[in-house]
Amino acid sequence: MKQLLYKEYKLCLVPMVPLFYLFALMLLIPSYPYQVAAFFTCNSIFYLLKQASLNGDTLYSAMLPVSKAEVVKARVRFVVIVQMIMFLLMIPMILLNHKLYPGGNPAGVDGCVTLLAFVLMVFTVFNAICLPGFYREESKIDKLFLFSVIGVFGWIILSESFMIAAGAARQAVPLFAWVESHLDCYPATDGVWIAQLIALAIGALIYGVGTVLTVRRAVRNFEQVDL
Amino acid sequence: MDLSLSGSSPLPIYRQLFDQLCSQILDGRLKSGDALPPIRTVARELSISVIPVKRAWEELEAAGFIESFVGRGCFIAPMGTDKLQKLKQAMAADKLSDAAAYCRGLGLSREEAAALLRDAWDSTEP
Amino acid sequence: MALLDVRELEKRYPTFTLDKVSFSLEPGYIMGFIGRNGAGKTTTMKAMLNLIHRDGGQVYINGRSFFENERACKEEIGFVMGEFDCYKNATLQKITDVTRRFYPDWDEQAYESYLSRFALEEGKKIKELSAGMRVKYALALALSHNAKLLILDEPTSGLDPVSRDDLLDVFRSVIEDGSRSILFSTHIISDLEKCADYITYIKGGKVLSSTDVISFREGYRLVSGDREHLEVRRPKLIGCKEHAFGFTGLIRAQDAGAFAACKIAPADLESIMIYTEQEDGHETASL
């Protein structure tokens, strides 16, 4: 596994991956659906998969003394590492965002712990669509990316609209009022912290379970593939 | 030990090896007790596959020219003058039967063929 | 015990079936794997290594099931599928640096000696190498981790005659100590003549014959004769070519008695293959 991760790093990593971490700076934009920053990390993973496909990486890997399942597991692990780095980079950006715009974000969820939970959802949706498909038919990577863009933006539009709606209708709907005061704000009180950390825990759980299921499906697909 | 193979010979490689070793044993260039190199080394040196060498060695062993010992390799078999003489005659008879069949095919008589052999004998005298 | 034992390997495609392919190879020998394009050579090799999903059969490496011990078995195998065609923009040095980590038995000294023997420069990128050099690089990688078994798919086809001859020398020295074996597919009959100990001949996804070279050749005879000898004996001919003055054809050695009136000669590998591949068994040369 260590060797396969080294291979990912030395032979598969494309410059877009580190470069697109700069999109974390989007959290410094005054009013913006900040989850889009996480989408760019997914985009860089698409470039990684695309380049790997052009480079004949799958055949090279399958010929190494590893099982087909290990090839898939190492790739998913590498993708998770790439995503977790973005996740961690977003934490200081959230702090900065709050310093710059203490009034919050009218274009969607505020820079807060809830945003991190949403980011994990973005990653989950992308992985679930892109990775199992890649290991069924890697030549269809472009089409898969299109589907995952639709999936990811579907989630982003849905979640951000919900937050905007909550902001607009907080007086009318009690649930929206609670969302506004507990999830869509920078955590200041213990109650808000707890609510947002629970949200993050749910996000992490979905990401974890989603990744396990994604690996399982990708391995099953890859076992059947004729290289 | 001298071995040289010809790609243009109609004889298969194992037969060429067999013939060359036979004649070297019969004319005394290889003496009983001499060790033969391992078959894989011979194959590599001659740039041929292992099987023909193995086959040649097997036939030499079957004909009584060499002995093989597990783990030690192959050696030229000890031969009394009697046995040597018999092997020589068998080899010569084999060659001459081809020549006899050829003469018969051309319609020569037994005496004519024998005379030709005598002439050939004289002309190759060193 | 056989170093490689392939048993009833099956793969079904809509238009092609690998039909219970079986053969085995003892340590210390070279096996040539021959057949026409599309006969199933590459499919067999890939199915053996789980690169394509098999529909049935088993492969044993040194007595261990490949599919149950994939990792350990792959460490003992050096596999080359034509030229090295991955990571075109990476240097040899980089690729080797990654690859060597996967093999506990990596032999750096052997690797370096193959690099210089094959005149490969580590600083070059894959895309800067010719097809022949890419084959050599793939071979250098496969030869440098003390693999017991080398499985090579057409290793010589992109090489010039001098490099090919040199490579065959490498093959013979690899097996010289008697513990390692090579399975290689080829179209080049002279490669077989020069170094194959065993021949496995595959046609239409089926193994026609798998035996040592001498038995393989001695199983057949070339016959030639007048046309008048031809008609009654046609059913016994595996393949034949007719011309204005007579015919030449291939028969099984045990049928030689029926051709006593014809000229009979030992069969060479090339003729065996050409006549065997004649679709209907009787091809008439147009004059």
pLDDT band at C14 (very low <50, low <70, confident <90, very high): very high
For residue C207, the SS3 value is strand
Calculate Rg over the CA atoms of chain A: 19
- Highest mean pLDDT among B23-27, C57-61, C134-138, C253-257 belongs to C57-61
> For residue C11, what are the β-bridge partners?
C18
> So what's the ipTM on this one?
0.83
- Highest mean pLDDT among A138-142, A164-168, B45-49 belongs to A138-142
pTM assigned to the model: 0.83
Report the residue from B40, B48, B55 with minimal CB separation from C178.
B40
Q: Which of B46, B49, B55, B58 to mutate against chain C (most C CBs within 10 Å)?
A: B49
pLDDT of residue A106: 82
pLDDT of residue C283 exceeding 70: no
Which helix or strand (DSSP H or E) is residue A18 part of? helix A16-19
pLDDT of residue C284: 43
pLDDT tens digits for C189-239? 888 888 899 999 999 999 999 999 989 998 999 998 888 878 778 888 888
pLDDT of residue B26 exceeding 90: no
C interface toward B at CB cutoff 8 Å?
28-30, 165, 168-169, 172-173, 175-178, 194-198, 212-214, 217, 265-266
Nearest CA to C203 out of C74, C41, C23, C68 is that of C41
- Average pLDDT over chain C reads 89
pLDDT of residue A213 exceeding 60: yes
Neighbours of chain B (3+ CB pairs under 8 A): C
Q: How far is CA A21 from CA A15, A210, C286, in A?
A: 10, 23, 71
The sign of the CA dihedral A38, A40, A46, A51 is negative
pLDDT tens digits for B44-97? 888 888 999 999 999 999 888 888 888 888 898 888 788 888 888 888 888 888
pLDDT band at A17 (very low <50, low <70, confident <90, very high): very high
Give the residue, C227 or C107, on which the prediction is more confident: C107
- Average pLDDT over chain A reads 92
C55 is written with which tokens? 């529909």
B13 in Cβ contact with C192 (< 8 Å)? no
C125 in Cβ contact with C89 (< 8 Å)? yes
A120 is written with which tokens? 């994990």
pLDDT of residue C281 exceeding 60: no
Which helix or strand (DSSP H or E) is residue C57 part of? strand C56-61
Instruction: Look up tokens 């990571």; give the residue.
Output: C87
pLDDT of residue B27 exceeding 90: no
C3 in Cβ contact with C149 (< 8 Å)? yes
- Highest mean pLDDT among A117-121, B38-42, C264-268 belongs to A117-121
The CATH code of the domain at B13-76 is 1.10.10.10
Is the minimum CB–CB distance between C12 and chain A shorter than 8 Å? no
- Angle, helices A68-100 vs A35-54, to 10°: value is 150
The predicted model gives A164-169 an average pLDDT of: 85
pLDDT tens digits for C23-54? 999 999 999 999 988 899 999 999 999 999 99
pLDDT of residue C279: 58
pLDDT of residue A105 exceeding 80: yes
pLDDT of residue C244 exceeding 60: yes
| CB count in 10 Å sphere of residue A216 | 13
pLDDT of residue C43: 93
pLDDT of residue C228: 80
Distance in angstroms (rounded) separating the CA atoms of residues B56 and B77 = 15
* Domain boundary assignment for chain A: 2-223
Q: How far is CA A59 from CA A74, C26, C30, C81, C112, in A?
A: 15, 28, 26, 10, 25
Report the residue from C52, C87, C102 with minimal CB separation from A11.
C87
Residue A152 phi, psi (nearest 5): -65, -45
pLDDT of residue C286 exceeding 60: no
Q: In chain A, what residues touch C16 (CB-CB under 8 Å)? A: none
pLDDT of residue C285: 40
pLDDT of residue C172 exceeding 50: yes
* Domain boundary assignment for chain B: 13-76, 85-123
pLDDT band at B115 (very low <50, low <70, confident <90, very high): very high
Distance in angstroms (rounded) separating the CA atoms of residues C272 and A218 = 46
B residues 4..33 contacting C (CB < 8 A): 10, 12, 14
pLDDT tens digits for A24-81? 999 988 888 999 999 999 999 999 999 999 999 999 999 999 999 999 999 999 999 9
Q: Which of B46, B48, B51, B53 to mutate against chain C (most C CBs within 10 Å)?
A: B51
Q: How far is CA B4 from the centre of its chain?
A: 13
pLDDT of residue C105 exceeding 60: yes
